A and B are shown apart, each in its own frame.
Chain A
Amino acid sequence: MSDYILELKGIKKNFSGVRALNGVDFNLRPGEVHALVGENGAGKSTLVKVITGVHQPDAGEIQFRGQPVIFANSLIAQRHGIASIYQEPTLFPDLDVAENIFMGRQPLRPTTRRVNWKKMYEESSKILASLGMSLNPHTRVRGLSVAQQQMVEIAKALSVKAQVLIMDEPTSSLTTREVEDLFDIIRRLRDAGTAIIFISHRLEETFVLADRVSVLRDGYYIGTRAVCDIALSELIHMMVGRTLGDMFPKEEVQQGKVILKVDSLTKEGLFYDISFELKQGEILGLAGLVGAGRTEVARAIFGVEPADHGTIWVDGRQARIHSPRDALALGIAYLPEDRHQHGLIPTMTVTQNITLPILREFAHLGWVNRTAEERTARTFAERLDIRTAGLWQKVRELSGGNQQKVVIARWLGIHPQVLILDEPTRGIDVGTKAAVHQLMSTMAAQGLAILMISSELPEILGMSDRIVVMREGHVTGCFSRAEATQEKIMTAAMAGRSGEANTTSTQ
């Protein structure tokens, strides 16, 4: 089969006894986008690392352009024209775009061995232009948006004339529009004959972009299908052995009294006249495009950056929330979108992270009762099904989904009345997603009021009792679970008429 540029057969890889890959086959044609899907821990990353020469397989064969090859390290793979773009851009923030593209390979003037800046900037401009990007190569990378940084990564891959381009979760922190731009570029590369391996947790993207899709599960190769021949439900079934209905285990809950009421909340330049109510046991979805002001509203309610005008009522009483401390005292907890920056302390253990805000409860005369602390942590870890080697494990060693559960566990520890979740399942795999959704449903059934910000429509539709849509700082729609559809929400999020804003003052 010489029409494959890259072919892997029966790849096996063990890590100290753990089987990461167990006889995986994979092949790639020039000019195709081949998606690689599977839950976290399915072996996608390991497979990619085998292809890029970071790991060497214990068994199996790799053929590149029909010849068996051994990539002893990543530099050799790069020299064969295999480039990879990682989830987190590997760029130099202090240097400019052109230097980032050419670092380590700068063009030199032949006699003086001096860096040929002129040539470097010219070639960078050329590459960027060929990708349809109007990014100036003199711009410093610090301050570029994540999308623009990814463009720089792609430009870097092109400058080495990559024939195989591996993209690991390139869309996880991009806005809808940026994803479209990225896809345009990927298609352009594909049409020019580049073979692309595309990894994403967002299966819808796989369907939009990929030509073929290969599924891994627990280190085993499950199968490869042409995207046009497979339905989403079938693909999910291949990945997890579950069906789509299990993804959104929403329970019908008897709703209680209004616990949180937001009235005409305004913060100049960010959001205007936001009003809604949240009842005990209710999950309220806050939908909209990235940048619509949803996170800002949440931060105002939590007191991180209080609003300029408007009132917040908690449990029937007007609340003055000027800081997160005030909010916590009122039983409002907030799980931020960026769990690394605002949520977790990566170098501390699972136990320590869970009990951080409630440490006082275990302290007697300044001494922490470790047994009680650990008992509480264990209770939460079991309730949330946090998978660790032990509670003493450092949080940074956990998978993304488990890290997310640790943050949730921490806030449940303070017994909140209102839980605000900002993109609770971004960047975590399908299986863990379902577990987080199950957890939300259970918590709501126990009377917790949940405000969920999400950019994923299926999640909004699947989990919310009621949906409030925001666009450019204004509420542009409010729907009950029964009346909400993808079209209605997208219309309100992207082209909501100002007249609709009047219908918003809840119920």
Chain B
Amino acid sequence: MKEPIRGSGYISFFWHIANIREVGISVFIIILIAVVSIRSPYFFRVENLRDILLDIAVLAIVATGQTMVILTRNIDLSVGSGLALSGMIVGMSVSSNWSISPLLALLMGMGLGIILGSFNGVVVTKGHVPPIIATLGTLSIYRGLVFAVSGGAWVDAAEMPESFKLLSRNTVLGIPNLVLFAASVIIISYYFLNHTRTGREIYAVGSNPGAARVAGIPVDRIVFLVYVLSGMLFGMGGVLWVSRYASAQSDSAMGFELQTVAAAVVGGVNIFGGSGTIAGVLLGSFLLGIITNALNLVRISPFWKLAMQGLVIILAVVFYTAISRRLQQTLIVRRVS
């Protein structure tokens, strides 16, 4: 009757289950690339690959913050508005004072993001407002503030110093700065989540909040922290966004919050918290970026693009959950027989 204690064979089994989602998305991405490159040879041109990387860089940065929030069983719907607000304030500051260095601008954006994120964190942890409602509220507040501070006007390319635009456009050894920023965020986040006590506590809080409390983890402080980190990252994303497109607009990044949630969830982050990896979020961002790019290349009518995008995302998830379930079943059958 005694359940067999799992030996080394079971370790690899669980390792598989943990990582099968990442494998599944990778397979889907490869198939997608194959299909697209047959339809359009342009796909593999260096310029195009570079475009994809540039397109997903900001998404990956903000989605990383979103992931940390989701890991704790919360959500941050204010990232799009927060990004636009940080970007707009920094853009206006830079346009009125050309002597602000690009690095200072970046730090300003991150600081603004931290303030906005703290507000989210306070409302959720101290105000006990459910995270969806709290951040839906701040989604509107932050977007409203964008219009209020800008008066509805744009900051366009001519109003910005060249150095600020180069913040995202410069390259180091041929790699665009923007991509380097995203890579650093991802590497630091990976280290933070996997190798620091606080990082592991983020997983613990989402996996079982009650048990986290019993283990002496300051749950509210962790939740506050992830909102602050999400804020810092969308603030950073805001500055890079304005620098890259050389314009700050009141309606920048409308609906961006849903893309970040999609990148995380498509990348295998459990929307109910507790599990998900940085590698997954990166793959999720890639998938979203490649889908958008592919739909441009194969010249889908712009009227259909959004619908197609959603359809391919659903297909991707159906595809790889089917794979992982199939694999899981074969393994279980093998165990029983």
Q: Does B46 contact A (CB under 8 A)?
A: no
Q: Report yes or no: A138 in contact with B215, Cβ–Cβ below 8 A.
A: no
Are B10 and A139 in contact, CB atoms less than 8 angstroms apart?
yes
Complex interface: chain A residues within 8 A of B275 (CB): 94
A136 and B10 contact, CB distance less than 8 A: yes
A269 at the interface (CB under 8 A from B): yes
Nearest neighbor of A133 in chain B, beta-carbon distance? B5
State whether B204 touches A92 (Cβ < 8 A): yes
B207: which of A94, A139, A181 is its contact (CB, 8 Å)? Answer: A94
CA distance A173 to B225 in the complex (A): 37
* A104 lies within 8 A of B216 (CB): yes
Binary flags per residue of A48-90, CB closer than 8 Å to B gives 1, else 0: 0000000000000000000000000011001000000000001
* Residue contact A93 to B208, C-beta cutoff 8 Å: yes
Partner of A136, one of B3, B8, B197, B274: B8
| Residue A323 CB within 8 A of the other chain | no
Residues of chain A in range 83-122 having any CB-CB distance to chain B below 8 Å: 90-95, 99, 103-104, 106, 108, 113-115, 117
Residue of B at shortest CB range from A88? B210
Are B5 and A135 in contact, CB atoms less than 8 angstroms apart? Answer: yes
Q: Verify if B200 is at the interface (C-beta below 8 Å from A).
A: yes
A291 within 8 A of B: yes
When the two chains form their complex, are residues B11 and A74 in contact, meaning their CB atoms are under 8 A apart?
A: no
Is B301's CB within 8 Å of the partner chain A? no
Please give, as numbers and ranges, the residues of chain A lying within 8 Å of B1 by CB-CB distance: 175-177, 289-291
Picked from A91, A140, A290, the residue with its CB within 8 Å of the CB of B14 is A140
In A146-181, the 8 Å CB interface with B consists of: 147-148, 175-178, 181
Complex-state Cα separation, A253 to B1, whole angstroms: 37
Q: Which residues 324-376 of A have a CB within 8 angstroms of B? A: none
Are A94 and B214 in touch, CB under 8 angstroms?
Answer: no
Q: How far is the CA of A463 from the CA of B138 in the complex (A)?
A: 61
Number of interface residues of A (CB under 8 A): 38
Please, how many angstroms separate the alpha-carbon atoms of A95 and B245 in the complex? Answer: 41
Residue in chain A with minimal CB distance to B273: A94
In the complex, whether B295 has a CB less than 8 A from a CB of chain A is no
User: What residues on B are CB-neighbors of A143 within 8 Å?
Assistant: 14
6 residue pairs of the A-B complex, CB under 8 angstroms, read A90-B211, A108-B197, A115-B200, A133-B5, A139-B11, A147-B3
Residues of B within 8 A of A502 (CB): none
In contact, A136 and B203 (Cβ under 8 angstroms):
no
Query: Which residue of A94, A135, A175 has the most chain B CB atoms within 10 A of its CB atom?
Result: A94
**Residue-by-residue, is B192-215 near A (CB-CB < 8 Å gives 1, otherwise 0)?**
000111001101101110111011
CA distance A395 to B62 in the complex (A): 42
Instruction: Return B243 CB to nearest CB of chain A, in Å.
Output: 33
Q: Please tell me if the beta carbons of A177 and B200 are within 8 angstroms of each other in the complex.
A: no
**Interface: A379 (CB within 8 A):** no
Tell me what chain A mostly uses at the interface: helix, strand, loop, or mixed.
loop
> Cβ of A139 and Cβ of B6 under 8 Å apart?
yes
- Judged by a CB distance under 8 angstroms, whether B312 is at the interface is no
Q: In the complex the two chains form, what is the Cα distance from A143 to B14 in whole Å?
A: 9
Bound CA–CA A147/B5 (angstroms): 11
In the bound complex, do residue B216 and residue A78 qualify as a contact, i.e. CB atoms below 8 Å apart?
yes
Assembled-state Cα–Cα distance A92/B213 (Å)? 11
> Cβ of B336 and Cβ of A269 under 8 Å apart?
yes
CA–CA, A103 to B275, complex, Å?
16
* Interface, chain A (partner B; CB < 8 A): 74-75, 78, 90-95, 99, 103-104, 106, 108, 113-115, 117, 133-136, 138-140, 143, 145, 147-148, 175-178, 181, 269, 289-291
A92 adjacent to B7 (CB under 8 Å): no
Residues of B within 8 A of A148 (CB): 3, 5
| CB-defined contacts of B210 to chain A, threshold 8 Å | 90
Q: Which residue of A lies closest to B208 (CB)?
A: A92
Q: Give the chain B neighbours of A114 by CB distance below 8 A.
A: 195-196
Contact of B197 with A134 in the complex, beta carbons under 8 Å: no
Residues of A within 8 A of B197 (CB): 104, 106, 108, 113, 115
Distance in angstroms between the alpha carbons of A467 and B324 in the assembled complex: 44
Separation in Å of the A371 CB from the closest CB of chain B?
35
Contacts of B7 in A (CB 8 A): 136
Q: Is the CB of B6 within 8 A of A92?
A: no
Majority DSSP secondary structure for residues of B touching A: helix
Is B18's beta carbon under 8 Å from chain A?
Answer: yes
Instruction: Give chain B residues whose Cβ lies under 8 Å from the Cβ of A91.
Output: 208, 211
Given pairs A92-B203, A113-B196, 4 additional interface contacts (CB within 8 A): A78-B216, A94-B274, A95-B207, A115-B197
Answer yes or no: B217 CB below 8 A from chain A CBs: yes
Q: Closest residue to B6 on the A side, CB-wise?
A: A139
Q: A94-B275, A95-B203 are in contact. Are A178 and B216 (CB under 8 A)?
A: no
- Type the 1/0 row for B214-256, where 1 means its CB is closer than 8 Å to any CB of A: 1111000000000000000000000000000000000000000
The docked-state distance in angstroms from the alpha carbon of A91 to that of B274 is 12
Q: A12 to nearest B CB, angstroms?
A: 26
Contacting pair B203 A94 (CB below 8 A): yes
> Contacts A139-B14, A140-B14; is A103 near B6 (CB within 8 Å)?
no
Please, how many angstroms separate the alpha-carbon atoms of A181 and B5 in the complex?
Answer: 13
Residue of A75, A95, A117, A138 near B11 (CB, 8 A) is A138
B164: shortest Cβ distance to chain A, in Å?
Answer: 35
CB closest residue in chain A, given B71: A94
Q: Which residues of B contact A106 (CB under 8 A)?
A: 197, 200
Known pairs A75-B216, A92-B211, A94-B275; A103 contacts B201 (CB<8 A): yes
Distance of B109 from chain A, by nearest CB (Å): 28
**How far, in angstroms, from A134 to B195 measured CA to CA in the complex?**
26
A104 touching B201 by the CB < 8 A rule? Answer: yes
Q: Which of A95, A145, A147, A291 has most chain B Cβ within 10 Å?
A: A95
For residue A127, give the distance in angstroms from its CB to the closest CB of chain B. Answer: 15
B334 at the interface (CB under 8 A from A): no
Please name all residues of chain A whose beta carbon is closer than 8 Å to the beta carbon of B5 when the two chains form the complex: 133-136, 148
A503 CA / B204 CA spacing, docked (Å): 54
A135/B6 in contact, CB under 8 A:
yes
- Tell whether, in the assembled complex, residue B196 and residue A92 are in contact, meaning their CB atoms are under 8 Å apart: no
In the assembled complex, the Cα of A104 lies from the Cα of B197 at a distance in Å of: 7
Are the C-beta atoms of B6 and A136 separated by less than 8 Å? yes
Separation of A147 and B2 alpha carbons in the complex (Å): 10
Please name the residue on chain B nearest to A128 by beta carbon: B5
A290 to B210, CA, bound (A): 30
Is B18 a contact of A103 with CB atoms below 8 Å?
Answer: no
Judge whether A103 and B274 touch: CB under 8 Å: no
Q: Does the CB pair B215–A104 fall under 8 Å?
A: yes
Tell me whether A93 and B216 are in contact (CB under 8 A): no
Select the residue from B2, B201, B214 with max chain A CB neighbours within 10 A: B214
Structural contact, B3 and A145, CB atoms closer than 8 A: yes
What separation, in Å, do the CA atoms of A46 and B226 have in the docked complex?
35
Nearest residue in B to A472 (C-beta to C-beta)? B1
CA distance A400 to B241 in the complex (A): 56
In the complex, what distance in Å separates the CA atom of A291 from the CA atom of B3? Answer: 11
Check A177 against B208 for contact (C-beta < 8 Å).
no
- Mask of B264-291 contacts with A, CB within 8 angstroms, 1/0: 0000001000110000000000000000
Q: How far is the CB of B329 from chain A (nearest CB, A)?
A: 14
Whether A90 and B14, one on each chain, are in contact in the complex, defined by CB atoms closer than 8 angstroms, is no
Q: Which of B68-122 contact A (CB under 8 A)?
A: none
In the complex, which residue of chain B has the Cβ closest to the Cβ of A147?
B3
Asked if A90 meets B214 with Cβ closer than 8 Å, knowing A114-B195, A139-B11, the reply is: yes
Q: Contacting B214 at CB < 8 Å: which of A74, A134, A290? A: A74
Report Cα–Cα, A359/B203, bound state, in Å: 43
Residues from chain B with Cβ under 8 Å of A93 in the complex: 207-208, 274
Q: Which residues of A contact B14 (CB under 8 A)?
A: 138-140, 143
Q: How far is the CB of A165 from chain B (nearest CB, A)?
A: 15
For residue A290, which residue of chain B has the nearest CB?
B1
